[in-house]
Structures are given as C-alpha cells and as structure tokens.
C-alpha cells in the first residue's frame, strides 16, 4: 500500500512542480520593470471594429456610445455589431448611432460564427486591421490612437489590458483579481521575458489579411485559444499593451462563473489536445513559444490548485507524513508566485475579506468540470448587466 502511494505521489508531483515553477518564473517576469514605448506615427490605419452580441440589450448601446468618443477620425473605422437575438429597439438605437448591425441566422451559434459573419459582410471594404471587443466592453477615447501606433510599428497581433468594469459583488471582485493575475503571468510576465502574450477573447487586434485567412478555419467555442494556436503556428508575436485599457464586466455570481469557466475549460482542453498532437513538430521546428503555450494550456484553474494541494497534504499527513513536506514547500512557492502576480492596488482589506469566499468559488469551478462535454459543443452565454450575488449556488 505504501509503495503504491509513493508511486501515485510521484506521478502527481511532476506536473505540479512544472506548473508552479511556471507560475513563479512568470510572476517574477511581471515584476521586472520594463516599459514599452512606441514612437508617434503620422499614418492612420483603417479599422474594422467587431462587437459580437447575443442578448446584450442591457449593455451594447452604452458600449457603442462609449466607443464613438474615440479621438480618431470616424471615417477610418467602422463598428459592426453582430446582433443575435436582440430587441428591435436595441438594433434601431445601434443603427441610429452609426453602427452596422448584422442579424445572423446561425446553424451553430458561436462567437467564431459571429466574427466570420462580420468578415464576410465587409469583404468588399478596405481595412488594415480588425479590433474585437465584447458587447459589455468600454474603452478610453485614445484606444484607437494607441493601437494604431503599435500596429504602425509592426505589431500584427495586439492584446490590450483588460480590467474589471465592476466590483459590485465578491464574485465579481475576485474575478477581477483573477483577470489581473492572468495579465501579470500570461501577458506582461511573458512579454517581459521575450514570449508572446496570451489572448483574452476581447480587446484584441489582428492584421486583417491574416485574420481573414485564419478565421474560416475556426468554428469552436474557444475561438481565442484557436487564434493563439494559429498565431504561434505562423510565428506571429502577440504584443501586450499594458497601458491601453479595456473595461470588461466580471461575472457577478457563482452560477454564471461556473457556466463561463465550463466553456473556458472545454476550450483549453481541446486546444491543448490539438497542440499536443504536434509535439514532435514543435521540437523539430524549435517553436518554443508553442511549447510554452502547451505547458500553459495543461494547467488546471488556479483555484483547483489552491484547493487540491492542501487536501493532498492532509491525505499525506495521515498516510505518509514523510511525503508531505515537499508538497508544503511547493504550496508556499505557489502562494508566493500568486502574491507577486497580484497588482499592488489589490492589497487591501476588501481583498482579505473576499478571500473568505474562495471555498465557494472552488466548488463552483468543480461544477464546471461536470459540464465540459456540453461546453465543447453548446454556446454558453454569460449574461451582462448589474446583478446581485446569488448565495444559493
């Protein structure tokens, strides 16, 4: 029995130490003081700005109205809203604001289908790059100026800094912290160490010809992961603009969080399997950014690691105490990595109080794993608009 436990423990330890060292290295990378500077440019590019929207009557008009405040010539960008299952009054208001409104008739609903529809509908128009925003996203007036400067400097793929628009519930507040940890580790930490940033699903820009070539190949529910895969396949570096903000509404209760993560986890697993099939090619071509992404996509949600490791330490304490010490050290290293990755502004009393809700978040994410199969094939919508915490989930 003890021999079997040693084998199981050893098998568990290998991936966990890889994952936690990964977090630690890129958390340190995040703390490296490095600032990107793009020189002012005279050229102004034309942008196709796409807002996929499904039942987003509560937020989409505000988002478009906000975007129209850009300090950028209105003749050099077009806003396209893919208005799926939205009210006629909402669509009329969007048209009145000057947005192009497309009413889809999907066979299979997905964000990828919405993006492909927008590309198809604007095929005869000239654009240099495409910007993708979610229906709830707000940006500052200099957004297009900033991405234009980076694009003109040669960046073919750009990820802006997505931050929380709301913190009205503990779940939303914790989701905002989670987003910033992702920004620290998978975006700024990566770019500081010479690797491409991860995409977030919105606040993204791509060179239009590349995007038109790649999007028809994508039909999954995790279009951002597949876009990352193709960027790495084509050797395109994704630039992270830390000071260009996109305000994104965070999920406000645990039920919505569980549904959202179900889709994310399913997309991550599918893209990991797709990438793992090509592991031989990755080593043969020395595509180290793709190898980095393979490791990243193998990592379970952080909250699962936070909850599982203490449980595992407790099991080892009962069955084989000698084995628990290295796990304890590993867990401390993990906590240090997370502390390094949390931006300084979150070191406050509210964060401490919100952390008491982490066990409930842990259970919500566990529930997400039960619905992974449906998350692969079924469109899962995260509703927007202000709500209260639902303590029944």
Most confident of 45-54, 268-277, 368-377: 45-54
Residue 317 to residue 6: CA distance in whole angstroms: 13
Q: What number of other Cβ atoms are within 10 A of residue 263's Cβ?
A: 23
Residue 103 CB partners (closer than 8 Å, separation 6+): 83, 84, 91
Of 36-45, 139-148, 162-171, 215-224, give the lowest mean pLDDT range.
215-224
Mean pLDDT, range 34-55, rounded to an integer:
92
Q: Per-residue pLDDT tens for 62-94?
A: 999 999 999 999 999 999 999 999 999 999 999
Residue 261 to residue 250: CA distance in whole angstroms: 12
Mean pLDDT, range 344-362, rounded to an integer:
92
- Which of 315 and 366 is assigned the larger pLDDT? 315
Beta bridge partner(s), residue 277: none
Position 132 scores a pLDDT of 98
Position 388 scores a pLDDT of 52
Banded pLDDT at 384 (limits 50, 70, 90) = low
Position 383 scores a pLDDT of 64
Q: Per-residue pLDDT tens for 169-192?
A: 999 999 999 999 999 999 999 999
Chain mean pLDDT for the chain: 91
What DSSP string describes 183-202? IIIIIIHHHHTT-PPPP-SS
Domains of the chain, residue spans: 1-35+155-393
H helix or E strand, kind and range, residue 385: none
Residue 389 predicted with pLDDT over 80 = no
Residue 376 predicted with pLDDT over 70 = no
Task: Label residues 86-100 b or e (16+ Cβ within 10 Å = b).
Answer: beeebbebbeeeebb
Beta bridge partner(s), residue 47: 77, 129
Mean pLDDT, range 240-262, rounded to an integer:
88
Residue 133 predicted with pLDDT over 90 = yes
> Angle at Cα 247 formed by Cα 33 and Cα 82, nearest 5°?
130
Position 391 scores a pLDDT of 45
Residue 392 predicted with pLDDT over 70 = no
Residue 386 predicted with pLDDT over 70 = no
Most confident of 99-108, 151-160, 371-380: 151-160
Of 27-36, 138-147, 330-339, give the lowest mean pLDDT range.
27-36
* Spatial contact of 196 and 379, defined as CB atoms under 8 Å apart: no
Q: Is 330 left (phi over 0), alpha (psi -120 to 50) or beta?
A: alpha
Q: Which of 214, 213, 245 is nearest to 227 (CA)?
A: 214
Position 393 scores a pLDDT of 45
């Amino acid at each position: 029995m003890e021999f079997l436990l040693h084998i199981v423990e050893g098998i568990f330890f290998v991936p966990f130490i890889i994952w936690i060292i990964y977090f630690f290295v890129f958390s340190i990378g995040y703390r490296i003081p490095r600032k990107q500077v793009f020189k002012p440019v005279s050229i102004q590019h034309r942008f196709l700005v796409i807002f996929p929207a499904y039942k987003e009557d509560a937020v989409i008009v505000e988002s478009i109205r906000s975007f129209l405040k850009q300090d950028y010539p209105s003749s050099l960008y077009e806003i396209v809203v893919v208005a799926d299952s939205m009210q006629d009054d909402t669509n009329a208001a969007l048209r009145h604001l000057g947005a192009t409104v497309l009413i889809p008739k999907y066979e299979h609903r997905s964000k990828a289908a919405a993006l492909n529809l927008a590309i198809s509908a604007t095929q005869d128009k000239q654009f240099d790059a495409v910007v993708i925003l979610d229906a709830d996203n707000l940006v500052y007036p200099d957004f297009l100026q900033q991405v234009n400067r980076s694009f003109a400097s040669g960046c073919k793929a750009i990820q802006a800094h997505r931050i929380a628009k709301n913190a009205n519930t503990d779940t939303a507040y914790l989701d905002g912290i989670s987003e910033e940890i992702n920004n620290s580790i998978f975006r700024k930490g990566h770019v500081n160490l010479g690797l491409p940033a991860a995409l977030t699903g919105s606040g993204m820009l791509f060179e239009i010809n590349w995007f038109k070539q790649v999007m028809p190949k994508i039909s999954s529910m995790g279009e951002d992961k597949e876009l990352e895969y193709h960027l790495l396949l084509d050797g395109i570096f994704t630039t992270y603009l830390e000071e260009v903000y996109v305000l994104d509404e965070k999920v406000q209760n645990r039920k919505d969080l569980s549904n959202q993560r179900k889709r994310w986890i399913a997309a991550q697993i599918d893209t990991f399997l797709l990438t793992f099939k090509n592991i031989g090619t990755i080593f043969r071509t020395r595509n180290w950014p793709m190898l980095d992404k393979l490791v990243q996509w193998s990592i379970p949600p952080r909250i699962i690691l936070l909850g599982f490791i203490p449980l595992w330490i407790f099991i080892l304490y009962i069955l084989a105490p000698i084995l628990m010490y290295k796990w304890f050290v590993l867990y401390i290293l993990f906590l240090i990595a997370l502390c390094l990755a949390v931006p300084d502004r979150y070191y406050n009393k509210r964060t401490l109080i919100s952390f008491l809700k982490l066990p409930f978040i842990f259970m919500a994410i566990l529930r997400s794993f039960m619905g992974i199969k449906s998350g692969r094939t079924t469109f899962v919508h995260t509703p927007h608009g202000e709500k209260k915490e639902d303590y029944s989930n």
